[in-house]
Amino acid sequence: MSDQIAEGFSASTNDQRHGEFRNSGQNSDRPSRAPIAVGARFRMSALGAARSPRLAKKEGIIVGCSRLNCSIRVLFNGSKSPMSLHRDYVEQLISEPE
């Protein structure tokens, strides 16, 4: 009997966690997120520069998605391995046609 109660409790706890995560990215005060293209050049945004001053002037390439929904994998110029950054810390550079 206690096993059934424990299973029911863990399932409801997981549902609550996932529900909060899904709703956390849907704040009305945030602008809608533009899609980020893999392979595109980027630089740190103003928010990213404020939160990570050591990375403020760096640029690089977006190499993929992270396991987390709100993060992306980036490779800074001169780095050997990629790192995960929050999407709000990155702004995509627009390439000019030649």
Q: Give the C-alpha separation, 61 to 77, whole Å.
A: 8
Per residue in 1-60, pLDDT (tens digit) is 555 544 554 444 444 433 333 334 444 455 556 678 899 999 999 999 999 999 999 999
Q: Which of 48, 51, 49, 76 lies closest to 62, judged by CA?
A: 76
Domain boundaries, given as residue ranges, for the chain: 37-98
Q: Choose which CATH entry (3.20.20.70, 2.30.30.30, 2.40.160.10, 3.40.50.1000) describes domain 37-98.
A: 2.30.30.30
Give residue 69's pLDDT.
83
Whole-model pTM: value is 0.61
Q: Which of 59, 88, 84 lies closest to 74, judged by CA?
A: 84
Q: Give the C-alpha separation, 12 to 4, whole Å.
A: 12
